[in-house]
Amino acid sequence: MDIPCTIAEIKCLGWSEVDIVLVSGDALIDTPHSGVAVVARVLLNAGYRVGVICQPRTNTTDDILRLGIPRLFWGVTAGCVDSLVANRTATGKPRRSDDFTPGGENNRRPDRASIVYANLIRRACRPCPLLVLGGVEASLRRIAHFDYWSNSVRRPLLFDAKADAIVYGMAERGVVGLADALRDGSEWRNLPGLCYAAAEVPAKAVELPAYDVLSGREGERDGKRAFMEMFRIFAANQEPATAQLLAQRIDTRWLIHNPPAQPLEGFELDKLHRLPFTHTVHPHDASQGEVRALTTVQFSLAAHRGCYGECSFCAIAMHQGRRVTWRSHKSLVAEAQRYTRHPAFKGVISDVSGPTANMYGYECSRKKSAGACSDKSCLYPTVCEALPVDHRPQLELLQKLRSIDGVRHVFVASGLRPDLIEADKVHGDSYIEQLCRHHVSGQLKLAPEHSEPSVLSLMRKPEIEGVLRFRRKFEEKSRTVGKRQYLTYYFIAAHPGCTESDMIELRKFAQKRLQLNPEQVQIFTPTPSTWATAIWWTGLDPESGNEVFVERREGARQRQKDLLVERLQQRRK
Ligand code: SF4
């Protein structure tokens, strides 16, 4: 059964009304890789009547009211990525194409989509049932945050959208808990993984610096040190086992930030992936044109969640958490077998992964009960000795997947961490050998991001020599198995702390040591809720409190990228 998106589908199911309407800035791709599809499937499975409205027109209320007014709540998401990231480049120019829109033209998702859709609902629906935000945009803008596109500190999204709550992080537990509480008429405000607004601050809450202080309207002149302090407290309270209730004063009211929900355990992920996803674009959206994002995820396997990397420029730890949980071999093999029966399957599993490819099947034992360490990082500056790195579970999984009848290739397409492979003294080398022999579709992705120690340190990335050691082994094994395949390197220009001289050094490194053209160079974008964005806005090193160089001039940011890309292109000519 398709997730209902039209009134005809609702009628066909014999429903007189819906309990929950989910509104999304993306087309509906019914796979476990799409947040709105997962939330809809989980709620349907829990017995709720759910409908989804994708990319509603915002100059009329016709689309938003298409399924009627929900009995329990509206759920609003901007889509798989923040709407400003989806709609604008790192230098602020509009993006013309969009893989999540039918037909591929970027003309359906408004900037600040969560706010626009919430306002649309408020206009169309009075009285309005509970209005709840979720997804990456709301999750990472859940407290006061720096907004690059307006170059200002903005209030928590809840306040600007005039919503009742945010379900942050991976939302399965939160949305079902919320629906149950609303159905039963019980209190929903104390659910883990939720933010809401209140008139008073609860007695036991830890106070974050107030919005007025951050925005320079009260007390400290420009609020920069208070901002860094806010982010430090926020980041330190993202472990479900240890997090405290947080509160932040926003004008005369308070944002209340409950501790995060526990991540889904492996058996719960298995159960989630047994739900009847169709692995296609919903017919309502498909009839309007091709949705290109489907190609990337249609036959890929999500093996695990969470990341212990904590790179400064990445918000995955704030959204999915630092604890990695993974699905069983049985569940992944069963899903791959289902793929082989899908009419569109051509025998290729395009990826077996999570946020980082080689974090499957091992985790530090203290995290579940005591939470991840607050005073040290699992991978930076080196891999923590308490992390029992072991690639054997993934090796066995890949072997099982490629033995399935009807599967011709199983690729590992997501980026992987060479430092973890090197830390695995028992299976690290066979992991490289098996990757080279069976699982590289021409290119394997690595994300060293930079070469210079001062920049890598602010990025919280390991030293670059590890990448070179991995490269030597990768090339050697590729030769041994008789394959011509390559490494693709991802780099970031204009990260906080990075100067033009650092980019010149990176260029020399790329020319002399890699002897390759790094085509994947991004200009750093200060997206909400990352350490790098906190550094970008405050100009402060979070550890020492010292000032850090930050390139904020658009022309100079572009020049940093050009220093790497153009010179190398000239050299190639
Ligand atoms: S002991 Fe090491 S691996 Fe475990 S949570 Fe702490 S830093 Fe991470």
Ligand 1 centroid – CA 390 distance (Å)? 15
Measuring from atom 8 of ligand 1, which residue has the nearest CA?
Answer: 378
What whole-number distance in Å separates Cα of residue 17 and Cα of residue 135?
25
Ligand 1 centroid – CA 325 distance (Å)? 15
Ligand 1 centroid – CA 384 distance (Å)? 6
426-470 residue pLDDT tens: 999 999 999 999 999 988 989 999 999 999 999 999 999 999 999
Measuring from atom 7 of ligand 1, which residue has the nearest CA?
Answer: 378
Ligand 1 centroid – CA 286 distance (Å)? 45
**Residue 341: what are its φ and ψ, rounded to 5°?**
-95, -5
Name the percent of the chain in helix, strand, coil, to the closest 5: 35, 15, 50
Residue 371 Cα: closest atom of ligand 1? 5
What whole-number distance in Å separates Cα of residue 173 and Cα of residue 265?
11
Ligand 1 centroid – CA 439 distance (Å)? 30
Q: Is the pLDDT of residue 518 over 80?
A: no
Ligand 1 centroid – CA 363 distance (Å)? 9
Cβ atoms within 10 Å of 74's Cβ, excluding its own? 25
Same fold, 7-192 and 442-573: no
Segment 274-296 mean pLDDT = 96
Ligand 1 centroid – CA 273 distance (Å)? 29
- Look at residue 330 in the predicted model and tell me its pLDDT: 98
Choose between 127 and 516: higher pLDDT.
127
- Three-class SS of residue 77? strand
Residue 373 Cα: closest atom of ligand 1? 6
* Closest by CA position to 247, among listed 372, 144, 169, 135: 144
Q: How confident is the model at residue 218 (pLDDT cuts 50, 70, 90)?
A: low
Residue 367 Cα: closest atom of ligand 1? 5
Measuring from atom 6 of ligand 1, which residue has the nearest CA?
Answer: 373
What whole-number distance in Å separates Cα of residue 153 and Cα of residue 208?
14
Residue 365 Cα: closest atom of ligand 1? 4
Segment 252-257 mean pLDDT = 97
Is 3.50.30.60 the CATH number for 7-192?
Answer: no
Ligand 1 centroid – CA 23 distance (Å)? 38
Q: Is the pLDDT of residue 37 over 80?
A: yes
- Look at residue 339 in the predicted model and tell me its pLDDT: 96
Ligand 1 centroid – CA 170 distance (Å)? 22
Mean pLDDT of the chain: 94
- Look at residue 45 in the predicted model and tell me its pLDDT: 98
What whole-number distance in Å separates Cα of residue 23 and Cα of residue 51?
9
Ligand 1 centroid – CA 385 distance (Å)? 8
- Look at residue 90 in the predicted model and tell me its pLDDT: 78
Instruction: Determine the residue of 239, 308, 322, 374 to mutate for testing ligand 1's pocket, defined as the one with the most ligand atoms within 8 A of the Cβ atom.
Output: 308
Q: Which amino acid is at 22?
A: L
- Look at residue 517 in the predicted model and tell me its pLDDT: 72
Residue 372 Cα: closest atom of ligand 1? 5
473-512 residue pLDDT tens: 999 999 999 999 999 999 999 999 999 999 999 999 998 9
Segment 295-307 mean pLDDT = 95
- Look at residue 323 in the predicted model and tell me its pLDDT: 95
Cβ atoms within 10 Å of 392's Cβ, excluding its own? 14
CATH topology of domain 299-440: Transcription Regulator spoIIAA (3.30.750)
**Burial zone of 97 (CB within 10 Å; 0-12 exposed, 13-18 middle, 19+ buried):** exposed
- Look at residue 369 in the predicted model and tell me its pLDDT: 85
| Domain ranges for the chain | 7-192, 299-440, 442-573
Residue 385 Cα: closest atom of ligand 1? 2
Ligand 1 centroid – CA 372 distance (Å)? 6
Measuring from atom 5 of ligand 1, which residue has the nearest CA?
Answer: 372
- Three-class SS of residue 88? strand
Torsion angle of the four alpha carbons 9, 10, 11, 14, in this order, in degrees rounded to the nearest 10 = 120
Ligand 1 centroid – CA 538 distance (Å)? 28
- Look at residue 222 in the predicted model and tell me its pLDDT: 76
CATH topology of domain 442-573: Transcription Regulator spoIIAA (3.30.750)
Instruction: Determine the residue of 324, 387, 419, 460 to mutate for testing ligand 1's pocket, defined as the one with the most ligand atoms within 8 A of the Cβ atom.
Output: 387
Measuring from atom 1 of ligand 1, which residue has the nearest CA?
Answer: 386
Cβ atoms within 10 Å of 9's Cβ, excluding its own? 18
Measuring from atom 4 of ligand 1, which residue has the nearest CA?
Answer: 364
- Look at residue 507 in the predicted model and tell me its pLDDT: 92
Segment 336-353 mean pLDDT = 96
Instruction: Determine the residue of 376, 379, 380, 419 to mutate for testing ligand 1's pocket, defined as the one with the most ligand atoms within 8 A of the Cβ atom.
Output: 376
Residue 377 Cα: closest atom of ligand 1? 7
Q: What pTM does this model have?
A: 0.94
Ligand 1 centroid – CA 378 distance (Å)? 5
Q: Find the range with the poorest average confidence among 388-397, 468-477, 510-519.
A: 510-519
Residue 387 Cα: closest atom of ligand 1? 3
DSSP, residue by residue, 438-488: II-BSEEEEEEE-S-HHHHHHHT---THHHHHHHHHHHHHHHHTT---EEE
What whole-number distance in Å separates Cα of residue 158 and Cα of residue 161?
5
Ligand 1 centroid – CA 17 distance (Å)? 48
Instruction: Determine the residue of 238, 375, 384 to mutate for testing ligand 1's pocket, defined as the one with the most ligand atoms within 8 A of the Cβ atom.
Output: 384
Segment 50-76 mean pLDDT = 97
- Look at residue 232 in the predicted model and tell me its pLDDT: 96
Pocket of ligand 1 (CB under 6 A): 364, 366-367, 372-373, 376-378, 384, 386-387
